[in-house]
Structure 1
């Protein structure tokens, strides 16, 4: 159920957009193996983007806003950020300032997410999936040597 929005400049081919959106969706599915990932691409001309109060002063710095269930693993978040940045850079290199992609991750508890006229905290399958996703790793049993 993660959703994302990418704010970028105009000018990328439809194939590059498809490839980028697929790569980002795949990265989100790895971190949140929950169906129904949705993405939006918002494109702007440089004269409609303000960066530090200046319009059209430099190449647009892309922003990806991610709305998703809570995820406790910092390593999973790092991986998602790296994959999102990589996908945006592959699509927008030379057109945007891809050295300064900003990824904003907004987490929501299931009690704050509604779908099918119910809260996701009322959906046992989703509750179980998120609990498993955020469960602490299980310690390994000590290695025993038989004599």
Structure 2
């Protein structure tokens, strides 16, 4: 169920994309133990479609933003490790293409009553309730 969205410049090679996706998935799985329910989305932009302080990036290296949309996670240590691993994967994939020194990762965590899947709240799914209870025990 965890989803990770990467907003980044276009331009990395297909092999680098595959490695990035795999490494981000591994980092999320390390924190959440929810494979095969992890998805990673890569949204690519040209410099003329992103601004910083109102000015288009153009050919300047843009900052990357990542968004984690996932269930609540009680462990601050797991969050630290996740942030570090994702930041490292992004830094490797985009070295020389983006401003990887200033990658922002936002973690949006939801209680099960605030997430729906397959037409029902996750709080109504006994398997989801048990999985999150074990994760946060």
TM-score, L = length of structure 1: 0.88
> How many Å separate the matches in 1 of 2:121 and 2:67?
22
Match of 1:108 in 2: 110
Distance 2:101 2:2 in 1: 25
Aligned to 1:45: 46
Tell me by how many angstroms 1:118 deviates.
1.3
Question: Could you report, residue by residue, the CA deviation over 1:61-112 in whole angstroms, capped at 9, with x for unpaired residues?
Answer: 0000110000011110010000110010110000000000000000000011
SS in 2 for 1:11: coil
Q: 3-state SS of the aligned residue for 1:127? A: helix
CA offset digits 1:27-59 (Å, max 9, x no partner): 111111124111211111111111122212631
Over aligned residue pairs, what C-alpha RMSD do you find? 1.0
Tell me whether 1:122 sits opposite 2:124 in the alignment: yes
SS at match of 1:59: coil
| Runs of 5+ unmatched residues, structure 2 | none
